[in-house]
Chain A
Amino acid sequence: MLHVLLIEDDPAIAEMYRVQLEYDGFRVTVATTGEIGYAIVVNAEPDIVLLDLLLPDRSGLEIMADVKERLPNHPPVVILSNYGEPAMIDRGLSLGAIEYLVKSRVTPASVSQSIRGWIEQARRGRSEPSN
């Protein structure tokens, strides 16, 4: 069973995604702060991380940078944010997120459907030498 870590502080959104993802057969862990989320990434080695940017303790972009720097074989990270500014999207992608999604433009179902694809894409990306 694939393990999805959702780092999201808004309980309504977290719960909604949990319902959809569990329905689709994923194991879901929700972290409501950046620190807890980072600890889970390190210790529980989820298969994919869905990361919100505006968290109570630290910014999602900081967590993204930490994950990239300290965990060479980190799971793919998908940013799921309310911000849709192009500059923010560029920052997120340049820090190594596999995808940047604006929450209001997607549905839990569409995200859930793409998860296997992202994991596969990340696996392929890792096995190929980067160019």
Chain B
Amino acid sequence: MVLAERLALNLTALGFVALGAATAWAWYRYRGQAQGRLAAALVCLAIVAALGRVQDLFGLKGGIVTVIGIIEILAFMASGYFVLMFRDAFLPLHPRARQVAVAALAVSCALGVADVTVLSRAGRGVTAAAGAELILTWVVFTGEPIIRFWLASRSVPSVQKARMRALSFGFAGLIAILVFDVFGGSAVQSPTAIIATQLIALAMVPVIYVSFAPPAMLRNLWRMGEQAELRAAIQDLLIFSPTRQELAEKAAGWARRLLGAQGSFIVDSQGAIVASAGVDSADVIEIIAARTGSPAGGIEAPLHGRGEAIVMPLHLTEGTGFLGVTAGPFTPLFGSDEVNQLQGYASSVTAGLERVRVTERLAAIENNKTQFLNLASHELRGPLTVVRGYVSMLEDGLLGNLNERGRKAVPVITAKVLEMNALIEQMIEAARLEDGALMLRPEKGDLREIVKDAVDAVAPLNDDRHPIRLKCPERPVVVNADAERIKTIVSNLVGNAVKYSPDGGSIQVEIVNRGGIARVSVKDRGVGIAKEDLPILFTRFGRVSTPETDHLPGTGLGLYLGRQLARLHGGEITVDSDPGRGSTFTLHLPVVAPPDPRSRQERLHSAANRSI
């Protein structure tokens, strides 16, 4: 039994020595400041464990025992202090707390040294009290950080989370053993208890070690659960991000999570930082400038006091940019696994950035076009207002009497001005439609009146060669529609009928109300439209080009707008044509129940009263 007990004690001590050596070596290779503190804590623990066995193994006696005891106590207290300092490295302590910790360390060390020297002959109670103080201080030094780490681990990527939790768990195990040793009473002295506690302590060795330097296999394992979710999110991000900036920021954020890195950044071909998270711009610039890795990307050596970084080139159209991640106290020491992963991710990010670049350019072009349309039409309205006003005043004789030729010219100018006005209105309406700013103002009304108004509006543009015949049902045809818009559609159809009947001919406008649908058909005897040209009729700026019609003015917006407006009303415009003999355009609109008995005039009146 004694042998088993001694074996357990030796094994545990050996385990801690190995842990100390491994962490010291890992730290020696990368020398992160925060990692250094954790390594120091573990090395101190290794010293405590080793010295604890030296006395027993070599049967030492006398003064050397006291010296060993002093070193043991100092190393023990230092280990606790270094854990606290490790916490301070990335969850900074309050300056006052730091002072208190240093004071507590000094007091405990003094007390511990006194305990093994001057107090060693004092009563058992005094020694035990001093020992309890030491243990208590150590428990506070390590207990507070592990609770902090555990809490902080909830909001970090899975690799960091696992590492922080391993550290918390490992030290919690050690604390439990110590508390049990000191306060457990006689139960602690039994060989079974000693073996059990030693084995538990031994089990904590690998747990603490993986928190310091987890092997690639474990890192993969930790990441696995997160990765499927990550992949889906990244795919969404790369496909749906609207702007380059947003994509870069999110892509950098995901790179960080993907590798459980401390920081990440994206730099464009000009060397400007497009996005970064968890890393200073100065550091990014330094990392990029100090790049010594292969052009295909890879691990970069750590810069003074910081962890290493992986930098991957992004081959963009405008040049080579970089995607990088940096290591921190709780991120893995990067390996080939991380490099491969980032490489795959970098090519996705490149594709995403390229896609956004193209769509941004397209959107800018589209936007310019809409803005131009908007501006041009608004700016055209002003001058036209003056021309139209004066022409109407000329026509009224308000500006004096015109001679015969002048009187003949006025109606022509009026017709042309109205035509231009209609074109401008079409352009504005198209711009609104593109902006998504087109709002209907539906109101119940009689379609017969609307169509009559529309036909009247075209009259000034018409001549004797195109008599317009309007045929309406006897009863009202009630539609819930934006009267102005429907008027625009119908006058455009009638205007087209006139325009595309260069040889004259009557135009028939007919309203039919059947099966809940009102149909307004406009029939001409004009040039007609070839079957293959029908599909482009309703496209924006789509005009059919034929020798008969090429000379006629038009924007190619009228039918496009008409169909869009009809559809916004839940209706449609259809066409039926016989080349050389004429066309029939039909507006279909849903019909509703009869309108409010009060006339439109009355309602306008009451609306006006309300607004005063």
Contacts and interface: CB of A to CB of B under 8 A. Distances in A.
Contacts of B386: 10, 12-13, 16
A107 B381 CA distance: 13
Interface in A89-119: 93-94, 96-99, 102-105, 107-109
Given A16-B389, A97-B611, A108-B393, A103 B441 contact: no
A82 B393 contact: no
Contacts of B611: 93-94, 96-98
A82 B385 contact: yes
A128 interface: yes
Interface string B367-409: 0000000000010011011101110110010110000000000
B607 to A, nearest CB: 8
Nearest to B396: A109
Question: Which range contains the number of B residues in contact with the other chain?
Answer: 20 to 34
A32 interface: no
B610 interface: yes
B392 A108 contact: yes
Contacts of A125: 608-609, 612
Decide if the interface of chain A is mainly helix, strand, loop or mixed.
helix
A20 B609 contact: no
Contacts of B593: none
A19 B386 CA distance: 12
Contacts, number: 78
A104 B384 contact: yes
B282 interface: no
Contact of B393 (A20, A93, A124, A126): A20
A107 B609 contact: no
B247 interface: no
A23 B398 contact: yes
A19 B397 CA distance: 12
Contacts of A10: 382, 386
A86 B441 contact: yes
Interface in B408-423: 421
Interface of A: 10, 12-13, 16-17, 19-20, 23, 76, 82-87, 93-94, 96-99, 102-105, 107-109, 121-122, 124-126, 128, 130-131
26 contacts: A12-B386, A17-B389, A20-B393, A20-B398, A76-B612, A82-B381, A82-B385, A83-B378, A85-B432, A86-B439, A86-B441, A87-B437, A87-B439, A96-B612, A98-B608, A103-B381, A103-B385, A104-B384, A104-B421, A104-B425, A108-B392, A109-B396, A109-B398, A122-B612, A126-B612, A130-B610
Given A87-B439, A104-B421, A128-B609, 13 more contacts: A10-B382, A10-B386, A13-B382, A17-B389, A82-B378, A82-B385, A98-B612, A105-B421, A107-B392, A107-B393, A108-B392, A109-B396, A130-B609
